[in-house]
Structure 1
Amino acid sequence: MSHLVRLDAAAARLRVITTAGEQLTGADLLSFTLDQAVTESGGLGGMVHLRASGSRALLLTTVHGLLRTVVQNWTEIEETGPTTPARAVARGVPVWEPAHAVENRTGVALPGGGGLLAVPLIAPEGTAGVLSVLMAAAEEPTPRQRAAVGALAAWVAPRLGRLWADGQQVRSRHTPDESPWAVGGAGPGRPGDPARTAGPDGSSGKTPATPESVSRVLWHMSDAFFAMNSAWRLTFVNAEAERLLGPSHALLGRTLWDTFASWRVDLADGFQARCRQVVDSGIPANFTLRWPTNQRWYQMRLVPVPGGLTVYAADVTESQARKAERAAAERAAAERTARITELTTALAQALTMRDVVAAIAERVLPPFGASGLVIEIIEGQAIRVAGSVGYSQTFLDSLDGAPVASITPVSEVYHSGQPAFIGSVEEYIARYPLMSGLAAASHKAAWAFLPLIVSGRCIGCCVISFGESRRLDGEERGLLTALSGLLGQAIERARLYDTEHTRAKELQRGLLPRALPSLRFVETAARYLPASEGIDVGGDWYDVIPLSGARVALVIGDVMGHGLPEAATMGRLRTAVHTLADLEFPPAELLTRLNDLVSDLGESFYATCLYAVYDPAPATCTFACAGHPPPAVVRPGHPVRFPEYSPDPPLGAARPPFETREVSLPEGSLLVLYTDGLVEAATRDIGHGMNHLARVLSGAAFRSGLQPGAPAARRDRDRCENASLEQLCDEVLAELLPDKRLPDDDAALLIARTHPIASGDITTWPLPEGAIAASEARDHVRGQLARWDLDALTMTSELLVSELVGNAIRHAKGPIALRLLRGEKLICEVSDSSLTTPRIRHAADTDEGGRGLQLVAALSQRWGTRYTSAGKCIWTEQQLP
C-alpha cells in the first residue's frame, strides 16, 4: 500500500511540473525539462543531445549541473557510436550504464563514479534526440527514478516542434563567463536578459526569450530556491526562500554569509564550506539541517552550475518527525526485545520462586513503568500469595487464602484464562464494587492481571500494577500477554523446585539427630549445610552417642554422592553405628563391621567415617578413620593440631584392620570433627582448607571464651560453654565458606568440649576371690555413697553389686574389681578377666538360681556388658536423686 501511495505522489508531482512548463518553448523548454529530470531522479547533472539535420551526429544542446571540463567530451557524438546516448537513440529505449562500463566502452570518464541513464526523445516525426542524467550511485536506477525521467522525456519530445527537424541547434551556451542561469535556460533572476537560441530558419541570431514564464514557475515552487553567482552573491530568491532569508529586495546582490551573520547564528562557516566543496568538485550534494529562524528541518540540495550555484531547500520537518518517531519506536522495541531476551535468560537460570520474582521485578516492571508485582497461585480452592514486590505485608496477608469462588479479578482471570486490564481506580470499583476497600489498600491506580497458563491449565495469576492511572495500548497488552506464558512456565518450575527442595530438606533433617544429648563430661554443638545448588539430599551425617562408663562416641561421616540412594545409605549407616556402639565395639572393630555393611551394598557405594570414643576417666580419646580427614585437637594453651596417622581407604574399598589413634584431652580441650565439604572447594585443596581451619579455630576459640578460667557453678558453666560452642560453630562456618556462600558440597561440623572426671567422682577397689568379695563390695558401696550424700541409693546399689560380684565369683575367673562413678548417673561396674557374656534366662518356678540378671535389669535404669583389654566389665546405671 505504501508503495502505491508513493507512486501516486510522484505522478501528482509530475503533473504539477508539466503544467508549470506548458507555456515554455525552445531552449527554455529543454532547460526546464532537464532541470526537473535531474531533480526528480536525484541525479548529479544532465544533458540533452538533438539530432543534426543532414548528418549522423548528436549535438549537445542543453546542460545542467555539469562543468565545462566534463561536457567538452560530449559536445558532438556519433549517432551510431558506442556512447550511452547513441545506443539509446539507436535502440529507441532507455539505456543505463555504470561509469566504469561507459569508460571502458568510450574511454570517457564520468564524475562521481555513478552511472548514466539515457532516454530517447521520441516525437511523432521520429526520434528527436536523447536526454541523459548522470546518477550519483553505481547501482541501477530504481523504477521510480526511471519512471520520472521517462515521463519527462515523453512529455517534452512532442513539444520540440521544428527545433531539431531543420538541423538548427543552439551550441553557444557554454561560455565560461555566463551566469548560473546560462546552463539552465533563460535567467529568471534577470527578467530583461534575452535568451540566446537558434531560430527556426537555421540562422544564428537573437530571438525573444520568455524568462518571465520560468521565473513564475520558480517563484511559485513549493520548495525554497535561490541562486548565487561566482562571487557568492544572491541573484534570485523565490517566494518560499524569502520566508527563510528575508525579502528579495534586501537580499539580491548580497552574500548569503552576510545574511547569516546578521542573524547571529553559527551557520555561515559550515554552509559556506559545503558550497565551496560542491563548486570545486562539480558534484551536487544533499544534506539536512535545522533552520535557525523557524527551527524547521530542510533537505538542502546544492547544484553547481557554470558561474555559480543553485540551492533547493525542501521542508522535511514532518518526515523528520516521523523518522524520529520511528527511530524512537524502534529503540523502544529494541529495548523491549533486549529485556525480553534478558528475562528469558534470567528465568531459565532461576531456581526458586524468589529468583523468578526478582527476575520479573528487574526486567518486566521498569520497561512498562510498573511499581508492583504479585504472584498468586491457586491451591485447591484458595488463592495463595507466592511472591511479591512493592506491597506491604499487611496487604499481602489480606490477599492470601481468599477463596477462588469470590468475585475478584484474579478469580475471573483464573476461570476465563484471559488477561484483564484495568486503567484506573474508578474502573476497578465500577467492575468490582465489593472490592473497593482492597483497591484503596493496595495504593495502586492501574492493574494488568495476566493468567499463568501451563500445559493448557491456569495455575494462577500474575498481577502487575501501576502507581498512577495507565491505559496500556494494544502493543503493550499484546507483549504482556505473550510474556505471561513465559512467566507461567518459570513459576511452575520454581514451585516444583521449591516443593522438592523443601521435601529434601525435611528428609535431610529427619535423617540427622534432632537434638544432641546433654552430657556432663562432653558439651557438643553441630552444624549441617546442604550444597549450594540442586535439590538432591546429601550423605553427610554426624552423631553423639552416650556409652557406658560415662564415655561418649563422636561420629561423623560422608556418603559419596547426592540423591535419595545416598541419603538412604546414610540412614542405614547411622543406624548401624548406633547398633554397633551399643555393643561396645572399639573404634577399629566398629569400622570393620561397618565396612562389611557398605561392601554388601554394591560397588557404587562408598563412604568415609570417623568414629571416636572419649573416656573421661583417663581423659583420652580413641579414634579410627576410614578415608575421613583427621579431627582437629585444640588444647588450652597449645596450637591447633591434627593427629598424624596413615589414612585408611573409605568404607566399601577398605581392607581391615583400621589404624587406631589415641590423644589425651585435658580439661577444656576441643575436638573438632568435619567433612571435606567444609575444608575443600574448587579453588582450595583439602590441605590448605585444613590449615585455614586451624587458624580459624585458634582465633575463634579464644574470642568465644573457651579458654579455661575461674571455676563457676556447674549449671552456669554448662550454659556459658554451650553458648560459646554455638558461637564458635557460626564463626568457623562464616570464615571457611567460600565467599560467604553455601558450600559446593554438603558440609557437616561437630565440635565437642571435653571435661575429665574429677578424682572425687570415681573410685575403684580390687576385690578378693571367694564369697567374701560380695561383702566387701557392699561395704565399699555403702561407705562411698554416704560420702557422696547418695544414701537413698545405698540399698539398691548393695543389691546390684552383690549380684554382679556373685556372678563374677561363680562364672568368671581372675581378679575382680569394683568401680563407682558419679556422673549424670550413678554407675556401678564389676570387671573380671573372663570373656563370657552373661545372658538373662527364664528360670523355672522350682529353680533355686538364674534370677540374678533379672533382678539387675529390674533395679537399674540401664545395664550391659563391654569388653576390655583384660576381659569384660558388667555395668549398671541408676538415676541420681
Structure 2
Amino acid sequence: MRTGEPLPAVGAVLASLATGLWHWDNAAGQVTVDAEAARLLGLPPEPATLTVATARARLHPVDWNEIVSVVQLAVMEETLAEVRVRIMDEHGRVVRTVRSRSKPSFNHEMKAYELIGTIQEVTEPPPGVAARSPVTGDWRRSREAFLLDAGRALAEARSTEEVLRVAAGLSMPGFSPDGLAVFGAAADRLTIIGHHGHQPGDEGPFSHMSLDTDYPAAEVVRTGRAVYLSSPEDYKARYPASWPLAQHFGRESWAFLPLTVAGRTMGAWMAAFTYPVSFTPDERSVLTTVARMLAQALSRAGAAESERELTDGLQRSMMPTLGPEIPGMTVAARYVPTGGGLQVGGDWYDMIPLPGGTSPANSGGGRFALVIGDVQGHDVRAAGLMGQLRIALRAYASEGHRPDAVLSRASRFLYGVTDSVTYGESGPEAGDVRFATCLYVEVDPASGTLDIARAGHPDPAIRMADGTVLMRPTAGGLPLGIDPDADYPTTRLVLEPGETMLICTDGLIETGGHDLDTGWRRIRRTLESHNGDMEALADALVQAVHGPSSHHTTGPLVDRREDDIALLLLCRVSEGCGCDAEATTIPSVRRTMLTIAQAEPERIAGARQQLRELLHDWMSEDQVDSAVLLVSEMLTNVLVHTDADALLVAEVTGRPGAEGTPGERRMRVEVTDASDDLPHRRHPGELASSGRGLVLTELLADAWGVDPRGEGKSIWFELYESSAKEPEAPGEVDGPGVP
C-alpha cells in the first residue's frame, strides 16, 4: 500500500465489526484513516488523510509517547505493536479508549516508520482493577517511576558486582522476576557474568556453553533479538535440547533480552518468573528498557574496572617497595593518586641502596637514598616521564654520585627528554616541555646524617622526640628539566634519635583549599598530635587531607582528590618514638642546626623562624623575643665582620613545667664561624649604627661567652625558663666587645 491509494475492500468488513483501519507513513508525515477509524478518533465518519500533528492532537499526550516506544520495540523485535490509547475531544477531555494493533516496518533508506493497523473501542476496567491492569494510566505512572528509580540506581553503580546487586533488587511494576542471570560472550562461548535467585553451582551447565547451542541466551547473543517464552510448553517446543537444563528450576515464563551497547550485542539478560507472564507490549517495553540500562551500566562498570586494573598495575610497576628493615631506622611511605582521569600521575618516591657500604638489605645497614618528586601534569605523559626520571635517578645514585651531582645529571636528562618529544595529530607539534620538582636525601643510618639536595621541592619537616615540629629550610635549585646546567647545593642535617623526618609532594600540603602556609600548619598539627607507629602516622597524614582511607595506598578515598600525594617518613628510632619499643631511652633534647653562607644573608630570617618554632611552648614570650634578637645580632656580626660562613646550633634541654607554670629547661644558642678574630669591647655612641651586640647579650642572656676553637670561634648564650631575667641598665661590661 502506498500513500494516496484507496484502502482495501476489507475495510467494509472491519467497519461492520466497529473496527477501523489506518495507515501511518512517517516519511510523508501523513496518517490515512477509513470512516470507522475517523469516527473513533472523534472526526467526521468519512475517509481522510491527516497530518501527523492532527492525528496526534486527538490522542492523550502520555499515550502518544507510549505509541512511539511500543513501535520502536515492535520494530526491533519484529513483532506486532499493540497499545491502548485515550481519545481526547477539542476541550481536552477523554471521550473513549481504543486499542490499536499494527505491523510496523522500518525503511532504512528513508530512516522512517510505516505502519498499517486496526483500531477499535474498548471498555476501561472498573476502578478497583485499574491498579492491577498492565495497560492503565496508573500502571504507566508506576512504570515511569520504576524506570526512573532503576535508571538512577544503575547509573550510580560503580562495579559489575554493584550492577548485578541493583538488578537483583529491582521490583518491576505488576510483575517481578524470581530469577535473573546475566550472560556474556567470550570468543564463541557463553559465559555467566552473574546471577540471582539460584543456588551456588546452578550456573555450571550454562558456563562456557557454545554460542551455537540450542539455548535461548545463545540465540539472543547470536541474533541480537529478544526471546519470550510464556510457558514451559513454549520453552520445550522451541528449545527441546536445552529444556532439561531449565526444567528443574520450576519456572513458568522466561524473557531473554539482548544487552546491546553501541550496536554491539555484548551479552544477554534472563528474567525468569514462577508464574505465567503473557509478555504484553507494555511488559516487553519495561523489560527492554531495563535491558538497555543494564547493558549501559555493565559497559560503564567494565570500563571502570579495566581502568582501575590498568591504574593499579601501572602504579604498582612504578612504585617501589621499601625493602627490608634498616637497623636503627624505620621508613614508611604512601602514594595516593588524584581522583580524576587515569588516577596515576607524576608523583613518585623511591628508596635506593648506595654503593660504598653494606646494602640496607643486610644487617650492616649501609647508606641509602630517599627520593621524592613530582613531574608536572596528571596524565599518562607525566606518569611515563616519572618512570623514566625515577630510573635515571636510581642509575645516577647507584654510580656513587653525591646528591648535588645526582640532581644535576637528572635535570640534564629530563631537559633532553622533554625538549625532544613532539606530539602528533592529537597535540601541538612543539616540544612537550615538562619539569619536575625533586628532593634527594642521602642517609647514613649509623650517624643519622642527612645530606639533602632540593630541586624546587617543598622543604622537609622534622618531628623531634618531644613532638616539636620544625620545617627545615634547605638550599635548593631550579626544578629538574628547566636548565640543563643548574646547580643544586647540598644541606647537611643530623636526624637525632627519636626524631622523624617527613618529605612529601605539594599535594599533601595544598589540597583542600590550603596554601603553603596553612597546609604546613595542618601537617604540623597532625605530626605533633600523633604518637603511634610510622604506618599509623602515614595514614593519619593522608586522612587529615581526605578522610579515612585504606591501609593500602591504592584504595579509594571518600573526599575529592585535587592532586597526587606522595610522602616518605624516616624515623631514627628510640624508646617512646613509637617505632621501636626496645630502643635506648634518650634525654629530652631539642636541637636545630642551620648554616648561613656569606652569600645568603636572607637566610637569617629563616634562622629566626627556626628558633621561634624550636621555642613554640616556651613560657616566657619576652625570653623568646630576646633569643631571636640575639641570634640576629650574632649571625649578622659573622657575615659583616668576617669572611666565613656562620653555623647556628640551638638546643633546648630539660623538661617543661606543668600547664601554665615555667619548667626547668635551658635554651643554649651557639654561633660558630671559621674566623680566628675574637670580639673586642666597643663603646658605641648614641648615633652609632653598630657595636651593641655584646651589650645586648649581657643584658638579655642568663649566661654567655666566647670560646676559641681549633679553627675559628664560637659565641654562645643561654636562657633559663625559670629565671625570666629582667634587663639591667646599660653600663660597663667586663666581657669582650664586638668588633
2: CA distance, partners of 1:397 / 1:438: 10
Q: Which amino acid aligns with 2:283?
A: E
1:703 corresponds to 2:535 = no
Q: Which amino acid aligns with 2:492?
A: E
Matched with 2:287 is 480
Q: Which amino acid aligns with 1:561?
A: G
TM-score (norm 2): 0.50
What is the correspondence of 1:277-316 to structure 2 with a 5 Å cutoff?
none
2: CA distance, partners of 1:408 / 1:514: 50
Matched with 2:397 is 581
Matched with 2:695 is none
Picking from 529, 537, 540, the partner of 2:347 is: 540
Q: Determine if contact 2:346/2:375 at 8 Å carries over to the other structure.
A: yes
State the 1:365 CA deviation. 5.3
State the 1:576 CA deviation. 0.7
2: CA distance, partners of 1:499 / 1:686: 36
Q: Over residues 110-163 of structure 1, what are the superposed CA-to-partner deviations in whole Å (9 max), with x where a residue is unaligned?
A: xxxxxxxxxxxxxxxxxxxxxxxxxxxxx9999999xxxxxxxxxxxxxxxxxx
Picking from 542, 545, 553, the partner of 1:733 is: 542
Picking from 396, 420, 431, the partner of 2:227 is: 420
Q: Which amino acid aligns with 1:560?
A: Q
State the 1:615 CA deviation. 1.0
2: CA distance, partners of 1:584 / 1:747: 29
State the 1:387 CA deviation. 4.7
Picking from 480, 485, 504, the partner of 2:311 is: 504
Picking from 460, 480, 486, the partner of 1:656 is: 486
State the 1:604 CA deviation. 3.0
Matched with 1:620 is 449
Picking from 431, 438, 442, the partner of 1:609 is: 438
**Structure-2 change in CA distance of 1:2 and 1:698 (3 Å):** farther
**Structure-2 change in CA distance of 1:143 and 1:325 (3 Å):** closer
State the 1:409 CA deviation. 3.0
Q: CA RMSD in A?
A: 4.5
Q: Over residues 10-45 of structure 1, what are the superposed CA-to-partner deviations in whole Å (9 max), with x where a residue is unaligned?
A: 9xxxxxxxxxxxxxxxxxxxxxxxxxxxxxxxxxxx
Matched with 2:465 is 636
2: CA distance, partners of 1:535 / 1:142: 54
1:495 corresponds to 2:302 = yes
State the 1:569 CA deviation. 0.5
Q: Determine if contact 2:131/2:138 at 8 Å carries over to the other structure.
A: no
Q: Over residues 394-421 of structure 1, what are the superposed CA-to-partner deviations in whole Å (9 max), with x where a residue is unaligned?
A: 5567755444444433222212322223
Secondary structure at 1:703's aligned position in 2? coil
Matched with 2:568 is 750
**Structure showing the higher helix proportion among its residues:** 1
2: CA distance, partners of 1:753 / 1:572: 29
2: CA distance, partners of 1:696 / 1:509: 28
State the 1:472 CA deviation. 3.3
Q: Determine if contact 1:365/1:371 at 8 Å carries over to the other structure.
A: no
**Structure-2 change in CA distance of 1:546 and 1:497 (3 Å):** same
2: CA distance, partners of 1:393 / 1:318: 44
State the 1:607 CA deviation. 1.6
Picking from 598, 602, 609, the partner of 2:414 is: 598
**Structure-2 change in CA distance of 1:546 and 1:419 (3 Å):** same
What is the correspondence of 1:312-327 to structure 2 with a 5 Å cutoff?
none
**Structure-2 change in CA distance of 1:546 and 1:408 (3 Å):** same
What is the correspondence of 1:353-364 to structure 2 with a 5 Å cutoff?
353-354=160-161, 356-357=163-164, 360=167
Q: Over residues 302-342 of structure 1, what are the superposed CA-to-partner deviations in whole Å (9 max), with x where a residue is unaligned?
A: xxxxxxxxxxxxxx997877998999933432443355456
2: CA distance, partners of 1:754 / 1:597: 33
State the 1:594 CA deviation. 1.7
1:667 corresponds to 2:667 = no
**Structure-2 change in CA distance of 1:7 and 1:527 (3 Å):** closer
Q: Which amino acid aligns with 1:733?
A: V
2: CA distance, partners of 1:515 / 1:144: 77
Aligned length in residues = 439
Q: Determine if contact 1:577/1:594 at 8 Å carries over to the other structure.
A: yes
**Structure-2 change in CA distance of 1:411 and 1:322 (3 Å):** closer
1: CA distance, partners of 2:124 / 2:317: 75
Q: Determine if contact 2:509/2:520 at 8 Å carries over to the other structure.
A: yes
**Structure-2 change in CA distance of 1:482 and 1:656 (3 Å):** same
Any gaps of 5 or more consecutive residues in structure 2?
1-35, 46-88, 96-122, 358-365, 420-431, 550-555, 575-582, 585-739
Q: Determine if contact 1:616/1:755 at 8 Å carries over to the other structure.
A: no
Q: Determine if contact 1:648/1:658 at 8 Å carries over to the other structure.
A: yes
1:693 corresponds to 2:509 = no
Q: Determine if contact 1:377/1:384 at 8 Å carries over to the other structure.
A: yes
Q: Which amino acid aligns with 2:314?
A: L
What is the correspondence of 1:851-866 to structure 2 with a 5 Å cutoff?
none
State the 1:579 CA deviation. 1.1
Matched with 1:566 is 382
**Structure-2 change in CA distance of 1:730 and 1:142 (3 Å):** closer
TM-score (norm 1): 0.43
Q: Over residues 838-879 of structure 1, what are the superposed CA-to-partner deviations in whole Å (9 max), with x where a residue is unaligned?
A: xxxxxxxxxxxxxxxxxxxxxxxxxxxxxxxxxxxxxxxxxx
Matched with 1:530 is 337
Q: Over residues 508-538 of structure 1, what are the superposed CA-to-partner deviations in whole Å (9 max), with x where a residue is unaligned?
A: 2212225634433443333333333433632
Q: Over residues 809-847 of structure 1, what are the superposed CA-to-partner deviations in whole Å (9 max), with x where a residue is unaligned?
A: xxxxxxxxxxxxxxxxxxxxxxxxxxxxxxxxxxxxxxx
**Structure-2 change in CA distance of 1:9 and 1:591 (3 Å):** closer
State the 1:480 CA deviation. 2.0
Any gaps of 5 or more consecutive residues in structure 1?
11-138, 146-315, 705-724, 760-881
1: CA distance, partners of 2:450 / 2:486: 21
Secondary structure at 1:336's aligned position in 2? helix
Identity of aligned residues (%): 31
Secondary structure at 2:220's aligned position in 1? helix
1: CA distance, partners of 2:522 / 2:491: 23
State the 1:543 CA deviation. 1.0
**Structure-2 change in CA distance of 1:481 and 1:575 (3 Å):** same
Picking from 319, 333, 337, the partner of 2:140 is: 333
1: CA distance, partners of 2:391 / 2:174: 57
Secondary structure at 2:465's aligned position in 1? coil
State the 1:380 CA deviation. 1.6
Matched with 1:4 is 39
State the 1:575 CA deviation. 0.8
Q: Over residues 673-712 of structure 1, what are the superposed CA-to-partner deviations in whole Å (9 max), with x where a residue is unaligned?
A: 3333344334444544443333334444x233xxxxxxxx
Matched with 2:182 is 375
Q: Over residues 748-776 of structure 1, what are the superposed CA-to-partner deviations in whole Å (9 max), with x where a residue is unaligned?
A: 233333359x99xxxxxxxxxxxxxxxxx
Larger radius of gyration, structure 1 or 2?
1
Q: Determine if contact 1:342/1:363 at 8 Å carries over to the other structure.
A: no
Q: Determine if contact 1:551/1:613 at 8 Å carries over to the other structure.
A: yes
Secondary structure at 2:136's aligned position in 1? helix
Q: Which amino acid aligns with 2:392?
A: A
Matched with 1:681 is 511
Secondary structure at 1:641's aligned position in 2? strand
1: CA distance, partners of 2:166 / 2:536: 35
2: CA distance, partners of 1:587 / 1:142: 85
Q: Which amino acid aligns with 1:604?
A: V
State the 1:566 CA deviation. 1.6
Secondary structure at 1:479's aligned position in 2? helix
Q: Over residues 83-104 of structure 1, what are the superposed CA-to-partner deviations in whole Å (9 max), with x where a residue is unaligned?
A: xxxxxxxxxxxxxxxxxxxxxx
1: CA distance, partners of 2:156 / 2:471: 41
